[in-house]
Structure 1
Amino acid sequence: MAPYRIRQYEDGDYEAVCTMFGHGVMEHTPAAFIYMLKCPQTQLHFLGLFLVVLAASGSLLVSLLALLLALTGAWFCIWSLWTDYIQQSLHNNLLDIRRTYLEAADSCLWVAGAEGAVVGAVGAVLPEFPSERGHALELKRMSVERY
């Protein structure tokens, strides 16, 4: 196991931090899809679709194809949600990490390095709610590279 070194973010870490954040968020896609499939409301919708297509077409194959198409569409919707979140993050506070995390008051972004590579990152900023300011910090963009 390589020794880890935690240090403050440097401008040369930008690509590694953004890439690691994007990969980390996209890892949630399969879990979100499985969670959606386990929801009774979703199961009811897919069952309803299957039965309506079966009644309309009279073909089990067409009904299964319609169900497969709906599942593919659901996967794409979930994938699209995560992709949009990544793009929004990359165009908001990850666009200018120095201004967002290093120059702002009571904020910082740290990276963990091992063998010369960035393997983790976490940012801390003031909370959105004014009542929590001065008492807490909000952790943002926590990502750890998978080995």
Structure 2
Amino acid sequence: MAPYRIRQYEDGDYEAVRTMFGRGIMEHAPAAFIYMLKHPQTQLHFLGLLLVVLAASGSLLVSLLALLLALTGAWFCIWSLWTDYIQQFLHNNLLDIRRTYLEAADSCLWVAEAEGAVVAVLPEFPSERGHTL
């Protein structure tokens, strides 16, 4: 097991922190897609699409292709939402990490490193008065 060291962010960690954030957030896109598919409203919409296309075309193959196209479009929408969020966060909070996390009052950015590589990131912000978790 590699020895881990937790320390405060340094400017040399900039790219590693940004890359780790993007990859970490994108890991949740497939789970969000599955979560969306489990909703009864979503299932009804896809069933309705299947039945409407089946009634209009009379072909089960065309209906299944339409359903596959709709599922692909839904996946693209989820993926697009996630990548837009990442880009927005990278251009706001993570553009100037030092100003956002280290110079702000009661804020910090911790990184964990193993064998000289950053393996985890933990941002720290003060909770708003009366809004603790």
Q: Structures share a fold, TM > 0.5?
A: yes
TM-score (norm 2): 0.90
Unmatched 5+ stretches in structure 1 = 136-147
Higher strand share: 1
Q: C-alpha deviations, 1:19-52, integer Å up to 9, x for none? A: 0000000000110111111100000000000000
How has the CA–CA distance of structure 1 residues 130 and 4 changed in structure 2, closer, same or farther, with 3 Å as cutoff? closer
Greater RCO, 1 or 2 (C-alpha within 8 Å, sep 6+)? 2
Compute the displacement of 1:105 (Å): 1.0
Query: 1:86, 1:127 → 2: CA distance?
Result: 16
Query: 1:130, 1:5 → 2: CA distance?
Result: 23
* Identity over aligned pairs, percent: 94
Query: 1:130, 1:112 → 2: CA distance?
Result: 20
- The Cα RMSD (Å) is 3.2
How has the CA–CA distance of structure 1 residues 24 and 131 changed in structure 2, closer, same or farther, with 3 Å as cutoff? closer
How has the CA–CA distance of structure 1 residues 71 and 51 changed in structure 2, closer, same or farther, with 3 Å as cutoff? same
TM-score (norm 1): 0.82
How has the CA–CA distance of structure 1 residues 66 and 33 changed in structure 2, closer, same or farther, with 3 Å as cutoff? same
How has the CA–CA distance of structure 1 residues 104 and 131 changed in structure 2, closer, same or farther, with 3 Å as cutoff? closer
How has the CA–CA distance of structure 1 residues 31 and 66 changed in structure 2, closer, same or farther, with 3 Å as cutoff? same
